[in-house]
Structure 1
Amino acid sequence: MDTGKELIYRLYIQREEAFVRTDIKREFSRYEDIKNGDVEKVKENFKEIRKDFFKGKGTLSKNPLRNCMYHFVVSVGVIARICLNAGMPHDEAYTISDIYIFAADECKTTEKIIDLLEQAHIDFATRMKKLNIKNNYSVYVRHAIDYIYDHLHDQITLEQLSKNENLNPSYFSKIFSKEIGIPVKSYILSVKINTAKNMLKRSDYSISDIAFSLGFSSQSAFTAAFKKLTGKTPAKYRKELSYIAPF
């Protein structure tokens, strides 16, 4: 593809129309806020972005919806790579990006795509905020958190976590509770229930399948734990979600 003539033509049109692209420093300042996990600043930034979404952006397609979609893909792709470079796990960064791009492909209006982009900005910022907090934990606690997320299908115990770090269970429990703010058992349960909530929302797995995939001894044990933390049974939680759009 010979871009020479097209480049000359487009630059001429842009000069004639007094088109000015978004300042790169300002753009990356906004990405920096996402990387730093400054959720409130990210929300404020997007209010400005939303006011004139296409200002300073090139035309990537004659089709308005497709043009918006392409800008969405570029933005989410850049954010994923910035967060990856700042420490977000490789698979997590790219998979979140995939999820949002897949969802955007289902949107029927530019307004829906812009709404979804705001959610993506906030989602990445929220995850980076948690990651930045995690990086301040001791190596023992960071290892424990990673182990918990990698073994959600198991019945994880304090003894196993402390053994992994060659520490006395009582001593490890004190370190974990001091840094995280809640006991090990409560943290494990909260992670499993939050994962279950996402599975109930995003998948068609049965409640019993979710229960056993998260290491619960039975569906009734899972239901009791879920209700204790959310105030609802898994069935009621899923039923209520059926009336809400997934994004």
Structure 2
Amino acid sequence: MARFEDEFTDVLFQKRENDIRHPGYESEMTFYHLIAQGRMKDMKEYRKSTPAFNAKERGVLSDDPIKNTMYHFVAMASLISRICISNGMEPEIAYEMSDVFIRRADKARSKEEIDATREVMIEAFTSEMGKRRNINVKSSQIILCLDYINDHLHDNISVTDLAEYVKLNETYLSKLFKKEMKCSISEHIRSQKVEEAKSLLRFSDKTSIEIATDLGFTSHSYFISVFKKEAGMTPREYRNENFRKF
């Protein structure tokens, strides 16, 4: 059996020669973050627009194509379940969902069957996390508002936009939102934008200024002020403590 050092050196050389790379850490963590936030639309769009998720190979774990696909499936199932737990899913639910999908994949007899099971698993976890986000909300209009806000965090969102979207009077919508969410619409939007900013500070290399611009804050100083109020520290301090940590 070849020494690990020799085999590892050879694999790195072959990958460099053939320009084969694993998906970037930032790309993967953005993908998992969207699942954990229950953002089905954004997750699907991100996968379509990100080359890493269109790659046929994500590293060779076995020379057997079916085993290789299965090993990647198990790794993804483990990561998704644990990231969902860290974002509020009950551990037993997450572990059981992961186990069920791994058993399904284990019965597959082709790469295509495993890939199909993977797609169902990704959407199932995303859907479950989306339900938890709205678990205490009763009215369909507020659920629609929350989904709209979640899908437009990088835009400027107004009460007028939401009222038109759910076809309600602005005043009535504001009162209904406050009653069910225990905060105003603007407070919720700010809170969600800060949560998105936290994710970008943890998993991307974007500067604080770039993040503030991307999330539609009127100025960098205002972004810092809002972030500190919500998170209890500045964006710089948050990144220093949390960069690329689960």
CA contact (8 A) 2:38 2:126 kept: yes
Cα-Cα RMSD: 2.5
1:111 — aligned with what? 112
The 5 Å alignment of 1:139-178 reads none
1:168 — aligned with what? none
The 5 Å alignment of 1:48-59 reads 52-55=54-57, 57-59=58-60
Aligned mates of 2:114, 2:47 — CA distance in 1: 13
What is the identity, as a one-letter code, of the residue corresponding to 1:77?
S
What is the SS of the residue equivalent to 2:127? helix
The 5 Å alignment of 1:1-247 reads 2-47=3-48, 52-55=54-57, 57-134=58-135
Percent sequence identity is 32
| Alpha-carbon distance change, 51 to 78 in structure 1, aligned in 2, over 3 angstroms | closer
The offset of 1:122, in angstroms, is: 0.6
Structure 1, unpaired ranges of 5+: 138-177, 181-247
The offset of 1:61, in angstroms, is: 0.6
Aligned mates of 1:89, 1:179 — CA distance in 2: 23
What is the identity, as a one-letter code, of the residue corresponding to 1:66?
K
Structure 2, unpaired ranges of 5+: 139-178, 182-246
The offset of 1:43, in angstroms, is: 2.8
The offset of 1:52, in angstroms, is: 3.3
Which segments of structure 1 move beyond 4 Å, counting only runs of 4 or more?
46-51
| Alpha-carbon distance change, 115 to 70 in structure 1, aligned in 2, over 3 angstroms | same
The offset of 1:42, in angstroms, is: 2.3
The offset of 1:179, in angstroms, is: 5.3
What is the SS of the residue equivalent to 1:34? helix
> Radius of gyration: which is bigger?
1
